Amino acid sequence: MTDSLLITGITLGYLLVVLAVGLRARRGQGSSLEGYVAGGRHMGLLVLFFILGAEIFSAFAFLGAPGWAYSKGAPALYIIAYLALAVIVWWLIAPYISRLGRRHGFLTQAEFLTACYPTRGNLLGLFIGIVSVLAMIPYLTIQIAGAGMLFEAATSGTIPFWLGSLLACGVVAAYVYASGLQGIGWTNLLQGVMMVIVAWFLGLATADQFFGGVGEMFREIQREAPEYLTMPGASGMGWGAFSTAILVSALGCVMWPHIFMKFYSARSERTLKRVFVLYPLYSYLLIPLLIIGFAGVVLLKDRPLDSPDQVLLTLVVEMADFPAWLIGLALSGALAAAMSTAANLAHTSATILIRDVGQHLPSLRGMDDGKALRLTRYGVVVVSLAAYLLALVNPGSLVALLLGAYGIVVQLLPMLLGALFWRRASRIGAFAGLASGAVLTLYFQFSGSTPFDWHAGFCGLVVNALVFVGVSLSVSPVTQHTPAEALGPQP
Amino acid sequence: MNAPPKLPSVGMLIYFAICALALVWPGALLANRIEPLVMGLPFFIFWYVAWVFALFVGLVIAYRRESMEEADDD
């Protein structure tokens, strides 16, 4: 009992520190929408690095990733592979997007795409806005639910699920409301450092305590369950499924609105490039977490877990002989991963709701900057509250909604690349590609089987790109400029 | 008018492509074994760690070359 009080105390202390840092970041900030949403397009190397890190490393890093290593083995490496490849995609397009955003005043992904492919009544913007929010709210819900689960497990129920998720959600909503991207930046820096330290310490300490070292641990797995250490892993993930999952995740990563919109916030294109140079090293954060999952392969051989996502909590909280203060810090680190992602999701969803969706309401048309800022802040609270309620209800369709909506968002990639680099990119081709890619992805996603066992989104992207190129070649003449080059001055 | 940024050199693009192919089929087939353990990691896992580092080095080189070119332009 005293143990769980100590754990609770340490974790609450950590939440207070995060809250204080997040609220302090408000100082010296102007009150413009651009400041709130994009940090005045003035975010520097260190903060941007940790923001992009926090966005990628969510509750999944501490729960799902070790769960993959524990239940499947080697296929879990897909996460490291896709992160590395995602950086290449960023490197190629992000500086250009950042430049266009600065020149034309874009703050959202939809604004950029609708400027390149204009539609009557801006229907494309409305569509992208709605689908993005439909993808992001379930994602946010998963972070908040993850935080609640971590709290409950690590404090042995002293803090129940509903309270743990409320605390995490409340802290995040408070500092995002008050400080916008500045608040997210400084707290992500703090939480990122916390995550890295905790992950490495836990990974090495777990291997050391149970096996006497990482090498010894893998030797033991090699003797007991060698199938976990190479492809196709324990559950038989084929090369086709593995490779296409990596490719579609790497390509799709740039299309997550909360990542895309951060390109606008960079101080300069050089800053962005510096972030990307360092970024691959961030993926090493996953190594110790995968090690914990692999440890579970041997340690939990006789009593397999019902839910693989519990492997880290089971080993660290129940089986390892760690002191209570250490478990408190471990919980704080895992919470950091969930909360730092949640902050970005709430902030981005609210921005999209107001900028892309809200402007279609007659009463909000042509609102001024101050009103937009106010509404965006309210949006943060509304979105957080909605996600918290969803976490309590935990509808079974949540993951399906996330996969379905995100599957459509990824299909915006060919038209984005076309807008940036292809002179013959045509509007009709882009829409035909988007429609066929989205329909096909949804069909494969929910029918459960794909050709060659490829990733559903990958099949959609291939067809999407072929339709886009085919239609564009057949309808549009060669022009002087790509759609992005042809953008006029800001209206 | 928005001039597109200069794409990386052909050499850099080839290097990126090699990194990508090393991490998926067919490149990763080469590494699909446990022995030898390197730094305590099975070879297949070490392969991914090593290629992430290779990508990092490649990006450092690309960044430095671009910086030098821009300095020449000024």
Assigned token pair, A465: 């790109």
- Chain B residue whose CA is closest to A204: B40
Contact B63 A284 (CB under 8 A): no
Mean pLDDT calculated for residue range A91-119:
93
**ipTM for the predicted complex:** 0.92
pLDDT at A424 over 70: yes
CA distances from A407 to A46, A85, A337, A396, A458 (A): 31, 19, 24, 18, 10
Mean pLDDT for all residues in chain A: 91
Q: Where are the alpha helices (DSSP H) in A57-108?
A: 59-62, 64-71, 78-104
What letter would DSSP give residue A237? Answer: -
Q: Give the residue from A161, A163, A184 showing the smallest Cα distance to A173.
A: A184
What pLDDT score does A481 carry?
84
The interaxial angle of helices A324-352 and A2-24, nearest 10 deg, is: 40
At residue A449, the 3 state secondary structure works out as coil
Question: What is the C-alpha separation between A454 and B25, in angstroms, rounded?
Answer: 12
pTM of the model: 0.92
Interface of A with B in 8-67 (CB under 8 A): none
- Which one has a higher pLDDT value, A207 or B69? A207
Q: How far is B28 from chain A (nearest CA, A)?
A: 9
CATH class belonging to A2-103+120-234+261-392: mainly alpha
Handedness of CA A410, A414, A415, A418 (dihedral sign): positive
Interface of A with B in 366-425 (CB under 8 A): 420-421
Q: How far is A84 from chain B (nearest CA, A)?
A: 6
- Chain A residue whose CA is closest to B24: A243
DSSP, residue by residue, chain B = --PPPPPPPHHHHHHHHHHHHHHSTTGGGGG---PSPBTTB-HHHHHHHHHHHHHHHHHHHHHHHHHHHHHHH-
Mean pLDDT calculated for residue range A203-225:
95
What pLDDT score does A491 carry?
43
Question: What is the C-alpha separation between A83 and A282, in angstroms, rounded?
Answer: 9
A88 reaches B (C-beta below 8 A) = yes
Q: Give the residue from A178, A175, A177 showing the smallest Cα distance to A191.
A: A175
- Chain A residue whose CA is closest to B48: A81
Assigned token pair, A419: 């807008």
Could you say which of B25, B52, B63 has the minimum Cβ distance to residue A284? B52
pLDDT at A56 over 90: no
- Best residue of B15, B32, B45, B47 to probe chain A, by most A CBs closer than 10 Å: B45
At residue A365, the 3 state secondary structure works out as coil
Question: What is the C-alpha separation between A376 and A367, in angstroms, rounded?
Answer: 12
Q: Is A365 exposed, middle or buried (0-12, 13-18, 19+ CB in 10 A)?
A: exposed
Question: What is the C-alpha separation between A293 and A310, in angstroms, rounded?
Answer: 10
pLDDT at A49 over 70: yes
pLDDT 10s digits, A24-45: 988 767 678 888 999 889 898 9
What pLDDT score does B73 carry?
62
Question: What is the C-alpha separation between A83 and A287, in angstroms, rounded?
Answer: 13
- Chain B residue whose CA is closest to A216: B40
At residue B8 the predicted structure's pLDDT band, cuts being 50, 70 and 90, is: confident
At residue B1 the predicted structure's pLDDT band, cuts being 50, 70 and 90, is: low
Question: What is the C-alpha separation between A227 and A234, in angstroms, rounded?
Answer: 6
Distance, first Cα to last Cα, chain A: 63
Q: Is B29 exposed, middle or buried (0-12, 13-18, 19+ CB in 10 A)?
A: exposed
At residue A397, the 3 state secondary structure works out as coil
Contact A99 B5 (CB under 8 A): yes
Contact A74 B44 (CB under 8 A): yes
Q: How far is A231 from chain B (nearest CA, A)?
A: 6
Question: What is the C-alpha separation between A241 and A234, in angstroms, rounded?
Answer: 14
Contact A230 B33 (CB under 8 A): yes
Cα R_g (chain A), whole angstroms: 23
Of A197-206, A425-434, A473-482, B31-40, which gets the smallest average pLDDT? A473-482
Contact A81 B23 (CB under 8 A): yes
Q: Give the residue from A363, A373, A379 showing the smallest Cα distance to A129.
A: A379
CB within 8 Å of A146: residues ≥ 6 apart: A58, A59, A60, A62, A63, A338
pLDDT 10s digits, A291-303: 999 999 999 999 8
Contact A67, A295 (CB under 8 A): no
At residue A265 the predicted structure's pLDDT band, cuts being 50, 70 and 90, is: very high
What letter would DSSP give residue A108? Answer: S
Question: What is the C-alpha separation between A466 and A461, in angstroms, rounded?
Answer: 8
What pLDDT score does A352 carry?
95
Assigned token pair, A185: 């930046």
CA angle A305, A62, A66 (to 5 degrees): 45
A91 reaches B (C-beta below 8 A) = yes
At residue A248 the predicted structure's pLDDT band, cuts being 50, 70 and 90, is: very high
Cβ neighbour number for residue A362 with a 10 Å cutoff: 5
CB within 8 Å of A361: residues ≥ 6 apart: none
Contact A243 B51 (CB under 8 A): no
DSSP, residue by residue, A249-290 = HHHHHTTSHHHHHHHTTBS-HHHHHHHHHHHHHHGGGHHHHH
Contact A230 B7 (CB under 8 A): no
Mean pLDDT calculated for residue range A336-345:
94
Residues of A in contact with B39 (CB under 8 A): 215
Q: How far is A251 from chain B (nearest CA, A)?
A: 12
Residues of A in contact with B74 (CB under 8 A): none
pLDDT at A137 over 50: yes
At residue A280 the predicted structure's pLDDT band, cuts being 50, 70 and 90, is: very high
> If you count residue pairs, one on A and one on B, with CB atoms under 8 Å apart, how many are there?
115
Contact A479, A424 (CB under 8 A): yes
A226 reaches B (C-beta below 8 A) = yes
Handedness of CA A222, A224, A227, A229 (dihedral sign): negative
Could you say which of B52, B62, B67 has the minimum Cβ distance to residue A80? B52
Contact B63 A277 (CB under 8 A): yes
Contact A372, A96 (CB under 8 A): no
- Chain A residue whose CA is closest to B54: A280
Phi, psi (degrees; rounded to nearest 5) at B41 = -100, 140
Contact A273 B5 (CB under 8 A): no
Question: What is the C-alpha separation between A173 and A382, in angstroms, rounded?
Answer: 9
